[in-house]
Amino acid sequence: MSDLPLGVGAAAQDLTASFTAEGFEAVVATAIGIQYTGAPPSKRSLQVRLLLDRPFAFVARHRHSGLALIAGWVAQPGAASA
């Protein structure tokens, strides 16, 4: 993953599931904070801002097998945060 030594600084997971007469729906979100375990690199970092202000779909898949791990649809994205 990196030429530099990394460690997990923090991790959190949230799950929402719905069981209805039409079926089952589930969404899982995982956040992992990675930090350097040695001296910080001398390279400059790149910041990217992504604005999701309309409905969108997403799929997470395993690169090597192509297996879809989770898919979702956000019908009403939240307000942008600074």
DSSP string, the chain: --SS-EEEEEEEEEEEEEEETTEEEEEEEEEEEEEESSSPPSSPP--------S-EEEEEE-TTT--EEEEEEESSPPPP--
Give me the pLDDT at residue 53, please: 81
What is residue 68's predicted lDDT score, i.e. its pLDDT?
A: 84
Amino acid at 40: P
pLDDT over 50 (residue 82): no
pLDDT tens digits along 16-75: 767 678 876 777 888 888 877 766 556 666 777 767 788 888 777 788 999 987 777 778
